[in-house]
Amino acid sequence: MTTAIDVWGDYFSIAKWQAVVAEALESGDSKPIANINPNDSREFDAIFLGGGAAGRFGAAYCRALGGRVLIIDRWPFLGGSCPHQACVPHHLFSDCAAQLMLERTFSGKLWFQNLNDKMVSIKNIVELFRNGRTGPHAVMNYQSKEQLGLEFVLNAEFSIVDPQTIQVGECQFQAKNLVLALGAKPLVAEIPGARLKGVFNSQTLVENLDYEPANTIVVIGGGKSAIEYGCFFNATGRRTLVVARHQVMPMIKDVESRAYAILMMEEQGMEFLENAGFMAIQGDSQDKVKSVSIKTPSGIINVDTDFVFLGLGEQANSEQIAQILGLETGEKGFIKVNRHMQTSLPNVYAVGDLTGPPMEMFKARKEGVCAAKNIMGQVSEYKAADYPDFMHTHYEVCWLGLSEEEARKRYGNVKIMKLPPDNPNGFDVGLPAGDRMMLYLMAKPRMSGFQKLIIDGDTRKILGAFHIGYGAKDGFQYLNSLVKKGLTIDDLADMDELFISPSYFIQLCRLRAGDPHFKNM
């Protein structure tokens, strides 16, 4: 690696990293950035191929346990796809969707500008992200180098010589273990026309969008990305049609909670076509999208559009490594691992999105840590299970545990506490509320959210919780751990709520907890 930029021993501030990362991304300069300690003669305990959530956290943990590790990544920054193309843009777009829903709801009233019939630029928001993302990249490089003492080679492609030897340029690196943390990429659609200009996925949207989409957008898929990005497009003022082969949002198992989430999206103007059959995207003479055909139970419909978004799930970045190393893979190329994160080869581990669903940051990071512990001799097992989950519509939707329907199949005495309570006006009741909900509460009560707690009336244990609104996500992280430890209605009743917050579960439980045979509420 004679041509690498050697940064070892030089202090790199966050501002300096930001300039280096921006320069490398803009110029496409492929000069590797090497941070390798020339004074450490120890063999590496592990080489992490990929420095995203799984690789960086695994490497940091290995190092914390006294090991020597090297991360190799093709991007000029550590942190992987989350800050570059995935979670961070998704959250930016979802923030915009929430803000725009508020502004459209109160358009022309109070101090709100008149947004009626106005479209907001998607291109400007994408450009805002593209220009701002080097900030988080710089922080992660700074943290990894200056605070965590990690060794790495960035902006570099590698080749595998054997399971203990990795080549970067002319340099070979040897390690006792190899950890594969190469992530995943959006599934390529098997739809005619899917490669036309104007067809995007979550990666290409932030990298390639260079025009302002017109007023109709077609989203293909019914899962998290499809809905999250669809709600953003809709909130910008465009007609947004979501086309799904099956149901939309099947991951929200509680029927009532899912219905509220869908109703609120429909009231924002989202259109859904479920159980849609054959689809084809047609292009014009310049291979640019001009329309989409969709087969529905009532016939084929054609929609004119210059922008199609594919949210179809992901496949592993495993083609090369699986073949070279002869690793066992499953559906969509996901690498098979045991509970220690070991692949079918001894001393080769795989972690993160590369090993398959759930494709979430906590799972990627925890798998990285699990591999690190095993490499450093601390026998460790991990399998993602019973975790809390969330997604964005124009709201934040959180859930954990069992749905009401699942709970009723398993328990004979299920009790429900929810807001708004059942009433003849449906959702037109001004509770629940909390931060970011108060304007809706006063002026459009039906938009102030929905929440539901599912309880086993016999043991008084919490079985599940659902919340649609804002501000519950943080709480659900902790609530889930408590529920797994057997949290009861009485424990919740004894907590100190920071009122007004999505803490209604606490106060609803307090209202009922005195009763040994409490009823639904």
Ligand X SMILES: Cc1cc2nc3c(=O)[nH]c(=O)nc-3n(C[C@H](O)[C@H](O)[C@H](O)COP(=O)(O)OP(=O)(O)OC[C@H]3O[C@@H](n4cnc5c(N)ncnc54)[C@H](O)[C@@H]3O)c2cc1C
Is 137 one of the annotated active-site residues of the chain? yes
CA distance linking residue 435 with residue 413, whole number of Å: 33
| DSSP, residue by residue, 243-307 | E-SS-SSTT---HHHHHHHHHHHHHTT-EEE-S---EEEEE-TTSBEEEEEEEETTEEEEEE-S-
Is 370 one of the annotated active-site residues of the chain? no
Q: Kindly tell me which of 359 and 416 has the beta carbon lying closer to ligand X.
A: 359
Beta partners for 53?
A: none
CA distance linking residue 253 with residue 343, whole number of Å: 32
CB of 294 to ligand X, least distance (A): 23
Is 409 in contact with 254 (CB distance < 8 Å)? no
**Integer angstrom CA distances of residue 425 from 352, 430, 445, 446:** 46, 11, 11, 9
- Which of 25, 49, 62, 82 is catalytic? The answer is 82
CB of 15 to ligand X, least distance (A): 22
Is 78 one of the annotated active-site residues of the chain? yes
Q: Kindly tell me which of 44 and 440 has the beta carbon lying closer to ligand X.
A: 44
- Which of 91, 246, 278, 499 is catalytic? The answer is 499
First to last CA, the chain: 67
CB of 117 to ligand X, least distance (A): 29
CB of 465 to ligand X, least distance (A): 19
Q: What is the pairing mode between strands 44-49 and 69-72? A: parallel
Is 128 one of the annotated active-site residues of the chain? no
CA distance linking residue 479 with residue 453, whole number of Å: 12
CB of 326 to ligand X, least distance (A): 18
16-54: buried (b, 16+ CB within 10 Å) or exposed (e) per residue? Answer: ebbebbbebbeeeeeebbbbbeeeeeeebbbbbbbbbbb
Is 87 one of the annotated active-site residues of the chain? yes
What is the Rg, in whole angstroms, of the alpha carbon atoms belonging to the chain?
A: 25
Is 62 in contact with 46 (CB distance < 8 Å)? yes
Q: Kindly tell me which of 86 and 402 has the beta carbon lying closer to ligand X.
A: 86
CA distance linking residue 471 with residue 479, whole number of Å: 13
CB of 58 to ligand X, least distance (A): 9
What single DSSP character describes residue 212?
Answer: -
CB of 383 to ligand X, least distance (A): 16
- Which of 25, 49, 84, 137 is catalytic? The answer is 137
Q: Kindly tell me which of 73 and 404 has the beta carbon lying closer to ligand X.
A: 73
* Residues of this chain that bind ligand X (CB under 6 A): 50-55, 73-75, 80-82, 86-87, 90, 157-158, 181-183, 202, 225, 317, 352-354, 359-361, 364
Q: Kindly tell me which of 32 and 213 has the beta carbon lying closer to ligand X.
A: 32
- The residues carrying an active-site annotation are 78, 82, 87, 137, 499
